[in-house]
Structure 1
Amino acid sequence: MERHPGTAPDTVTVLWCTTDGDERHKAHTLLVRSAAEMLDVAPSELWLEHEAGGRPFLGGAGEALRVSVTHARGALAVALTGRAPVGVDVEVVRGLRAGALARAWLDPAEAAWVTGLPEGERSAAFLWLWTQKESVGKALGQGLRHGGMSRRVPLPEYWPPGDAAGLVLRPLPDAPELASAAVMVGAGRHIIGVALRGADGSALRGSGVGLQVRRVDGDAYG
Protein backbone atom coordinates (compact mmCIF):
# COMPACT_ATOMS: atom_id res chain seq x y z
CA MET A 1 0.00 0.00 0.00
CA GLU A 2 1.14 3.52 -0.67
CA ARG A 3 2.45 5.64 2.17
CA HIS A 4 0.17 7.92 4.14
CA PRO A 5 -0.93 10.57 1.62
CA GLY A 6 -0.27 13.28 4.19
CA THR A 7 3.43 12.73 3.53
CA ALA A 8 2.86 13.39 -0.18
CA PRO A 9 0.47 16.36 -0.16
CA ASP A 10 0.32 16.66 -3.94
CA THR A 11 -0.88 13.07 -4.42
CA VAL A 12 -4.33 11.52 -4.52
CA THR A 13 -4.51 7.73 -4.16
CA VAL A 14 -7.31 5.84 -5.91
CA LEU A 15 -7.88 2.13 -5.31
CA TRP A 16 -10.33 0.22 -7.48
CA CYS A 17 -11.52 -3.29 -8.24
CA THR A 18 -14.16 -5.29 -10.00
CA THR A 19 -16.63 -7.30 -7.97
CA ASP A 20 -19.51 -9.72 -8.45
CA GLY A 21 -21.87 -7.93 -6.12
CA ASP A 22 -22.38 -6.00 -2.85
CA GLU A 23 -20.35 -3.10 -4.23
CA ARG A 24 -21.40 -0.67 -1.50
CA HIS A 25 -20.27 -2.86 1.40
CA LYS A 26 -17.01 -3.79 -0.29
CA ALA A 27 -16.24 -0.15 -1.12
CA HIS A 28 -16.73 0.88 2.51
CA THR A 29 -14.57 -2.01 3.73
CA LEU A 30 -11.82 -1.14 1.23
CA LEU A 31 -11.89 2.50 2.29
CA VAL A 32 -11.61 1.80 6.03
CA ARG A 33 -8.89 -0.83 5.66
CA SER A 34 -6.87 1.26 3.22
CA ALA A 35 -7.07 4.35 5.42
CA ALA A 36 -6.00 2.34 8.44
CA GLU A 37 -2.99 0.95 6.57
CA MET A 38 -2.00 4.39 5.30
CA LEU A 39 -2.20 5.80 8.83
CA ASP A 40 -0.58 2.71 10.40
CA VAL A 41 -3.44 2.19 12.84
CA ALA A 42 -5.90 -0.63 13.48
CA PRO A 43 -9.12 -0.49 11.41
CA SER A 44 -11.05 -0.32 14.68
CA GLU A 45 -9.51 3.11 15.37
CA LEU A 46 -11.41 4.78 12.54
CA TRP A 47 -14.86 4.57 11.04
CA LEU A 48 -16.88 5.82 8.11
CA GLU A 49 -19.62 8.43 8.50
CA HIS A 50 -21.61 10.64 6.12
CA GLU A 51 -22.47 14.32 6.09
CA ALA A 52 -26.11 15.34 5.75
CA GLY A 53 -25.65 15.68 1.99
CA GLY A 54 -24.19 12.18 1.74
CA ARG A 55 -20.48 12.95 1.40
CA PRO A 56 -18.40 10.35 3.31
CA PHE A 57 -15.81 11.22 5.94
CA LEU A 58 -13.69 9.27 8.37
CA GLY A 59 -13.98 9.62 12.12
CA GLY A 60 -11.50 8.72 14.84
CA ALA A 61 -7.92 8.30 13.67
CA GLY A 62 -8.98 8.92 10.08
CA GLU A 63 -9.95 12.58 10.53
CA ALA A 64 -6.80 13.81 8.77
CA LEU A 65 -7.77 12.13 5.49
CA ARG A 66 -10.23 13.34 2.85
CA VAL A 67 -12.02 10.49 1.11
CA SER A 68 -14.57 9.63 -1.56
CA VAL A 69 -16.34 6.41 -2.56
CA THR A 70 -18.01 5.29 -5.78
CA HIS A 71 -19.50 2.11 -7.13
CA ALA A 72 -21.15 0.99 -10.34
CA ARG A 73 -22.46 -2.38 -11.36
CA GLY A 74 -19.51 -4.72 -11.01
CA ALA A 75 -16.91 -2.11 -10.02
CA LEU A 76 -15.97 0.22 -7.18
CA ALA A 77 -13.30 2.75 -6.29
CA VAL A 78 -12.18 4.81 -3.32
CA ALA A 79 -10.02 7.94 -3.21
CA LEU A 80 -7.89 9.09 -0.28
CA THR A 81 -5.68 12.12 0.21
CA GLY A 82 -4.30 14.26 3.00
CA ARG A 83 -4.56 17.39 0.88
CA ALA A 84 -8.11 18.67 0.34
CA PRO A 85 -11.68 17.54 -0.46
CA VAL A 86 -11.66 14.84 -3.11
CA GLY A 87 -14.22 13.15 -5.35
CA VAL A 88 -14.16 9.93 -7.36
CA ASP A 89 -16.55 8.33 -9.84
CA VAL A 90 -16.45 5.06 -11.81
CA GLU A 91 -18.51 4.19 -14.87
CA VAL A 92 -18.83 1.08 -17.00
CA VAL A 93 -17.97 1.86 -20.62
CA ARG A 94 -21.08 1.10 -22.65
CA GLY A 95 -22.83 2.24 -25.78
CA LEU A 96 -24.60 5.59 -25.42
CA ARG A 97 -26.22 8.14 -27.69
CA ALA A 98 -23.11 10.11 -26.90
CA GLY A 99 -23.44 12.80 -29.54
CA ALA A 100 -26.96 13.73 -28.49
CA LEU A 101 -26.08 13.59 -24.80
CA ALA A 102 -23.02 15.77 -25.34
CA ARG A 103 -24.97 18.42 -27.23
CA ALA A 104 -27.72 18.40 -24.59
CA TRP A 105 -25.61 18.52 -21.45
CA LEU A 106 -22.00 19.51 -22.03
CA ASP A 107 -20.24 22.81 -22.59
CA PRO A 108 -20.14 23.60 -26.34
CA ALA A 109 -16.37 23.07 -26.55
CA GLU A 110 -16.70 19.67 -24.86
CA ALA A 111 -19.64 18.69 -27.06
CA ALA A 112 -17.65 19.66 -30.16
CA TRP A 113 -14.76 17.46 -28.99
CA VAL A 114 -17.01 14.44 -28.37
CA THR A 115 -18.91 14.75 -31.65
CA GLY A 116 -15.69 15.31 -33.57
CA LEU A 117 -14.45 11.83 -32.65
CA PRO A 118 -15.22 8.66 -34.62
CA GLU A 119 -18.61 7.22 -33.68
CA GLY A 120 -17.08 4.21 -31.92
CA GLU A 121 -15.09 6.40 -29.54
CA ARG A 122 -17.79 8.86 -28.52
CA SER A 123 -19.36 6.88 -25.67
CA ALA A 124 -16.02 6.47 -23.88
CA ALA A 125 -15.22 10.13 -24.48
CA PHE A 126 -18.55 11.27 -23.05
CA LEU A 127 -18.02 9.09 -19.95
CA TRP A 128 -14.45 10.36 -19.67
CA LEU A 129 -15.92 13.85 -19.17
CA TRP A 130 -18.95 12.69 -17.18
CA THR A 131 -16.87 10.94 -14.50
CA GLN A 132 -14.82 14.08 -13.98
CA LYS A 133 -17.93 16.22 -13.61
CA GLU A 134 -19.39 13.76 -11.10
CA SER A 135 -16.11 13.79 -9.20
CA VAL A 136 -15.96 17.59 -9.12
CA GLY A 137 -19.49 17.64 -7.72
CA LYS A 138 -18.45 15.21 -5.00
CA ALA A 139 -15.36 17.24 -4.14
CA LEU A 140 -17.63 20.28 -3.78
CA GLY A 141 -20.15 18.31 -1.74
CA GLN A 142 -23.05 19.24 -4.02
CA GLY A 143 -23.18 16.61 -6.75
CA LEU A 144 -24.21 17.84 -10.19
CA ARG A 145 -26.50 20.55 -8.85
CA HIS A 146 -25.88 24.20 -9.74
CA GLY A 147 -24.82 23.56 -13.34
CA GLY A 148 -22.46 20.69 -12.69
CA MET A 149 -22.83 19.15 -16.14
CA SER A 150 -22.00 22.41 -17.91
CA ARG A 151 -18.95 23.07 -15.72
CA ARG A 152 -15.95 22.63 -18.02
CA VAL A 153 -13.29 20.07 -17.16
CA PRO A 154 -9.90 19.73 -18.89
CA LEU A 155 -10.05 18.08 -22.30
CA PRO A 156 -7.50 15.30 -22.84
CA GLU A 157 -4.08 16.23 -24.13
CA TYR A 158 -4.31 13.22 -26.44
CA TRP A 159 -6.92 10.58 -27.27
CA PRO A 160 -7.34 7.79 -26.56
CA PRO A 161 -5.65 8.28 -23.18
CA GLY A 162 -2.88 5.99 -22.01
CA ASP A 163 -2.58 4.30 -18.64
CA ALA A 164 -2.39 6.07 -15.28
CA ALA A 165 1.40 6.31 -15.19
CA GLY A 166 2.40 9.93 -14.74
CA LEU A 167 -1.22 11.10 -14.67
CA VAL A 168 -1.93 14.40 -12.94
CA LEU A 169 -5.09 16.27 -12.03
CA ARG A 170 -5.26 19.49 -14.04
CA PRO A 171 -7.06 22.70 -13.04
CA LEU A 172 -10.50 23.29 -14.54
CA PRO A 173 -10.48 25.96 -17.27
CA ASP A 174 -12.82 28.32 -15.41
CA ALA A 175 -12.16 27.23 -11.82
CA PRO A 176 -8.46 26.98 -10.90
CA GLU A 177 -9.37 25.96 -7.35
CA LEU A 178 -10.60 22.65 -8.79
CA ALA A 179 -8.61 19.98 -10.63
CA SER A 180 -9.69 16.77 -12.31
CA ALA A 181 -8.55 13.83 -14.40
CA ALA A 182 -9.93 10.58 -15.78
CA VAL A 183 -8.32 7.28 -16.64
CA MET A 184 -9.46 4.14 -18.45
CA VAL A 185 -8.86 0.97 -16.44
CA GLY A 186 -9.58 -2.73 -16.79
CA ALA A 187 -8.52 -2.91 -20.43
CA GLY A 188 -10.78 0.03 -21.23
CA ARG A 189 -13.91 -1.49 -19.70
CA HIS A 190 -14.20 1.14 -16.96
CA ILE A 191 -13.41 4.83 -16.57
CA ILE A 192 -12.50 6.46 -13.27
CA GLY A 193 -12.78 10.20 -12.77
CA VAL A 194 -11.11 12.03 -9.89
CA ALA A 195 -11.30 15.62 -8.70
CA LEU A 196 -9.75 17.74 -5.96
CA ARG A 197 -10.84 21.07 -4.48
CA GLY A 198 -8.12 23.43 -3.31
CA ALA A 199 -8.01 24.00 0.41
CA ASP A 200 -10.02 27.10 1.37
CA GLY A 201 -10.77 27.68 -2.31
CA SER A 202 -7.12 28.33 -3.18
CA ALA A 203 -5.91 27.70 -6.71
CA LEU A 204 -4.23 24.40 -7.54
CA ARG A 205 -1.19 25.71 -9.34
CA GLY A 206 1.91 24.22 -10.89
CA SER A 207 2.18 21.25 -13.21
CA GLY A 208 -0.77 19.43 -11.65
CA VAL A 209 -1.59 17.27 -8.69
CA GLY A 210 -0.18 13.76 -8.74
CA LEU A 211 -2.57 10.83 -9.02
CA GLN A 212 -1.90 7.19 -8.19
CA VAL A 213 -4.45 4.67 -9.47
CA ARG A 214 -4.06 1.09 -8.31
CA ARG A 215 -6.12 -2.07 -8.78
CA VAL A 216 -6.75 -4.25 -5.73
CA ASP A 217 -8.27 -7.69 -5.18
CA GLY A 218 -12.00 -7.24 -4.70
CA ASP A 219 -12.40 -10.67 -3.11
CA ALA A 220 -10.41 -9.48 -0.10
CA TYR A 221 -13.11 -7.03 0.95
CA GLY A 222 -16.20 -9.21 1.14
Structure 2
Amino acid sequence: MKSFKSNFVTIIVLLLLSFQNVKNVAAQINMQHESQMVQIEKLYASQQWSEIIKLEPVLLKHAEKDLNALLILSESYAQTGNITKGNSYAEMIIAKDPSNYFAFMMLGNNSYVSKEYDQAEKYYLKVLEIRPTYARANLNLASIYEMQKKKEKAISQYFQAIELFSANNFNNEVILYSKAVLNLDPNNTKAKSYLAITTE
Protein backbone atom coordinates (compact mmCIF):
# COMPACT_ATOMS: atom_id res chain seq x y z
CA MET A 1 0.00 0.00 0.00
CA LYS A 2 2.85 2.36 0.92
CA SER A 3 4.51 1.57 -2.40
CA PHE A 4 1.31 2.48 -4.26
CA LYS A 5 0.99 5.80 -2.37
CA SER A 6 4.64 6.56 -2.95
CA ASN A 7 4.30 5.86 -6.67
CA PHE A 8 1.09 7.91 -6.84
CA VAL A 9 2.78 10.88 -5.17
CA THR A 10 5.74 10.51 -7.52
CA ILE A 11 3.42 10.54 -10.52
CA ILE A 12 1.63 13.65 -9.24
CA VAL A 13 4.95 15.41 -8.66
CA LEU A 14 6.16 14.45 -12.14
CA LEU A 15 2.92 15.68 -13.67
CA LEU A 16 3.20 19.01 -11.86
CA LEU A 17 6.81 19.40 -12.95
CA SER A 18 5.85 18.49 -16.49
CA PHE A 19 3.02 21.04 -16.46
CA GLN A 20 5.40 23.68 -15.12
CA ASN A 21 7.87 22.86 -17.89
CA VAL A 22 5.11 23.22 -20.50
CA LYS A 23 4.17 26.61 -19.04
CA ASN A 24 7.82 27.71 -19.09
CA VAL A 25 8.27 26.61 -22.70
CA ALA A 26 5.01 28.32 -23.70
CA ALA A 27 6.14 31.53 -21.99
CA GLN A 28 9.49 31.38 -23.79
CA ILE A 29 7.75 30.84 -27.14
CA ASN A 30 5.43 33.79 -26.47
CA MET A 31 8.38 36.02 -25.57
CA GLN A 32 10.21 34.96 -28.72
CA HIS A 33 7.10 35.59 -30.80
CA GLU A 34 6.58 39.07 -29.33
CA SER A 35 10.24 39.88 -29.96
CA GLN A 36 9.85 38.80 -33.59
CA MET A 37 6.74 40.95 -34.00
CA VAL A 38 8.66 43.99 -32.72
CA GLN A 39 11.33 43.20 -35.29
CA ILE A 40 8.67 42.98 -38.03
CA GLU A 41 7.24 46.36 -37.01
CA LYS A 42 10.69 47.90 -37.43
CA LEU A 43 11.17 46.19 -40.80
CA TYR A 44 7.76 47.45 -41.93
CA ALA A 45 8.56 51.01 -40.87
CA SER A 46 11.75 50.88 -42.95
CA GLN A 47 9.97 49.10 -45.84
CA GLN A 48 12.26 46.07 -45.82
CA TRP A 49 9.73 43.89 -47.61
CA SER A 50 11.99 40.94 -48.45
CA GLU A 51 13.10 40.67 -44.83
CA ILE A 52 9.47 40.66 -43.70
CA ILE A 53 8.67 37.82 -46.11
CA LYS A 54 11.43 35.74 -44.49
CA LEU A 55 9.37 35.97 -41.28
CA GLU A 56 6.17 34.80 -42.98
CA PRO A 57 5.63 31.85 -40.53
CA VAL A 58 5.70 34.29 -37.61
CA LEU A 59 3.11 36.54 -39.25
CA LEU A 60 0.88 33.60 -40.15
CA LYS A 61 0.95 32.51 -36.50
CA HIS A 62 0.14 36.04 -35.37
CA ALA A 63 -2.69 36.24 -37.92
CA GLU A 64 -4.63 33.70 -35.85
CA LYS A 65 -5.46 36.56 -33.49
CA ASP A 66 -4.78 39.65 -35.62
CA LEU A 67 -5.61 39.85 -39.34
CA ASN A 68 -3.33 42.87 -39.71
CA ALA A 69 -0.49 40.35 -39.95
CA LEU A 70 -1.96 39.18 -43.26
CA LEU A 71 -2.15 42.79 -44.46
CA ILE A 72 1.57 43.14 -43.79
CA LEU A 73 2.24 40.00 -45.82
CA SER A 74 -0.08 41.17 -48.59
CA GLU A 75 1.72 44.49 -48.91
CA SER A 76 5.17 42.94 -48.60
CA TYR A 77 4.56 40.51 -51.45
CA ALA A 78 2.98 43.21 -53.61
CA GLN A 79 5.92 45.55 -52.98
CA THR A 80 8.36 42.86 -54.09
CA GLY A 81 6.41 42.36 -57.32
CA ASN A 82 4.48 39.23 -56.39
CA ILE A 83 1.02 40.71 -56.92
CA THR A 84 -0.65 37.30 -57.08
CA LYS A 85 0.59 36.30 -53.63
CA GLY A 86 -0.22 39.75 -52.29
CA ASN A 87 -3.78 39.45 -53.57
CA SER A 88 -4.16 35.97 -52.11
CA TYR A 89 -3.49 37.30 -48.60
CA ALA A 90 -5.87 40.23 -49.09
CA GLU A 91 -8.57 37.82 -50.26
CA MET A 92 -7.88 35.61 -47.25
CA ILE A 93 -8.61 38.59 -45.00
CA ILE A 94 -11.86 39.37 -46.81
CA ALA A 95 -12.97 35.74 -46.47
CA LYS A 96 -12.59 36.10 -42.70
CA ASP A 97 -13.77 39.72 -42.46
CA PRO A 98 -15.79 41.04 -45.44
CA SER A 99 -15.86 44.52 -43.88
CA ASN A 100 -12.08 44.92 -43.87
CA TYR A 101 -11.70 47.91 -46.15
CA PHE A 102 -7.90 47.84 -45.89
CA ALA A 103 -7.90 44.49 -47.71
CA PHE A 104 -10.11 45.91 -50.48
CA MET A 105 -7.79 48.92 -50.65
CA MET A 106 -4.85 46.57 -51.07
CA LEU A 107 -6.61 44.78 -53.93
CA GLY A 108 -7.40 48.15 -55.49
CA ASN A 109 -3.79 49.31 -55.23
CA ASN A 110 -2.50 46.06 -56.71
CA SER A 111 -4.95 46.37 -59.60
CA TYR A 112 -3.90 49.99 -60.08
CA VAL A 113 -0.21 49.06 -60.24
CA SER A 114 -1.09 46.29 -62.69
CA LYS A 115 -2.93 48.90 -64.82
CA GLU A 116 -6.20 47.03 -64.36
CA TYR A 117 -8.03 50.30 -63.78
CA ASP A 118 -11.60 49.01 -64.12
CA GLN A 119 -10.90 46.40 -61.46
CA ALA A 120 -9.16 48.96 -59.26
CA GLU A 121 -12.18 51.24 -59.54
CA LYS A 122 -14.49 48.48 -58.27
CA TYR A 123 -12.27 47.84 -55.27
CA TYR A 124 -11.96 51.54 -54.38
CA LEU A 125 -15.73 51.96 -54.63
CA LYS A 126 -16.08 48.97 -52.29
CA VAL A 127 -13.73 50.68 -49.83
CA LEU A 128 -15.93 53.78 -49.85
CA GLU A 129 -19.05 51.66 -49.45
CA ILE A 130 -17.58 50.25 -46.25
CA ARG A 131 -15.75 53.39 -45.10
CA PRO A 132 -17.09 56.54 -46.81
CA THR A 133 -14.54 58.75 -45.03
CA TYR A 134 -11.44 56.99 -46.40
CA ALA A 135 -10.19 59.85 -48.58
CA ARG A 136 -7.30 57.91 -50.08
CA ALA A 137 -9.80 55.82 -52.05
CA ASN A 138 -11.37 59.03 -53.42
CA LEU A 139 -7.97 60.31 -54.50
CA ASN A 140 -7.06 57.05 -56.22
CA LEU A 141 -10.39 57.08 -58.05
CA ALA A 142 -9.73 60.67 -59.09
CA SER A 143 -6.37 59.60 -60.49
CA ILE A 144 -8.00 56.77 -62.48
CA TYR A 145 -10.67 59.08 -63.88
CA GLU A 146 -8.03 61.63 -64.87
CA MET A 147 -6.17 58.99 -66.85
CA GLN A 148 -9.43 57.95 -68.48
CA LYS A 149 -10.18 61.59 -69.39
CA LYS A 150 -13.32 61.54 -67.23
CA LYS A 151 -12.85 65.07 -65.96
CA GLU A 152 -16.16 65.54 -64.12
CA LYS A 153 -15.86 62.23 -62.28
CA ALA A 154 -12.28 63.06 -61.30
CA ILE A 155 -13.31 66.47 -59.97
CA SER A 156 -16.17 64.91 -58.02
CA GLN A 157 -13.79 62.50 -56.28
CA TYR A 158 -11.30 65.25 -55.54
CA PHE A 159 -14.02 67.31 -53.90
CA GLN A 160 -15.18 64.41 -51.76
CA ALA A 161 -11.62 64.09 -50.48
CA ILE A 162 -11.21 67.85 -50.08
CA GLU A 163 -14.36 68.07 -47.99
CA LEU A 164 -13.05 65.36 -45.67
CA PHE A 165 -9.68 67.09 -45.37
CA SER A 166 -11.33 70.45 -44.74
CA ALA A 167 -13.54 69.01 -42.01
CA ASN A 168 -10.43 67.73 -40.24
CA ASN A 169 -8.39 70.91 -40.80
CA PHE A 170 -5.86 69.22 -43.08
CA ASN A 171 -5.19 72.49 -44.86
CA ASN A 172 -2.14 71.38 -46.83
CA GLU A 173 -4.19 68.61 -48.42
CA VAL A 174 -7.05 71.00 -49.13
CA ILE A 175 -4.65 73.31 -50.96
CA LEU A 176 -2.94 70.50 -52.85
CA TYR A 177 -6.10 68.89 -54.18
CA SER A 178 -7.92 72.17 -54.81
CA LYS A 179 -5.03 72.96 -57.15
CA ALA A 180 -5.48 69.51 -58.73
CA VAL A 181 -9.10 70.45 -59.47
CA LEU A 182 -8.00 73.77 -60.95
CA ASN A 183 -5.56 71.95 -63.22
CA LEU A 184 -8.59 70.16 -64.65
CA ASP A 185 -10.93 73.13 -64.52
CA PRO A 186 -9.12 76.50 -64.14
CA ASN A 187 -12.39 78.36 -63.58
CA ASN A 188 -13.78 76.10 -60.88
CA THR A 189 -15.19 78.52 -58.30
CA LYS A 190 -15.56 75.88 -55.59
CA ALA A 191 -11.87 74.99 -55.75
CA LYS A 192 -10.95 78.69 -55.72
CA SER A 193 -13.14 79.15 -52.67
CA TYR A 194 -11.36 76.35 -50.78
CA LEU A 195 -8.00 77.86 -51.70
CA ALA A 196 -9.08 81.30 -50.54
CA ILE A 197 -10.26 80.00 -47.18
CA THR A 198 -7.15 77.90 -46.46
CA THR A 199 -4.62 80.51 -47.56
CA GLU A 200 -6.08 83.43 -45.59
Q: TM-score range by the shorter chain?
A: under 0.3
When normalised by structure 1's length, the TM-score is 0.20
- Structure with the larger strand share: 1
TM value normalised by structure 2: 0.21
**Could you say which structure has the higher helix fraction?**
2
Task: Tell me: higher relative CO, structure 1 or 2? Use CA pairs within 8 A at least 6 residues apart.
Answer: 1
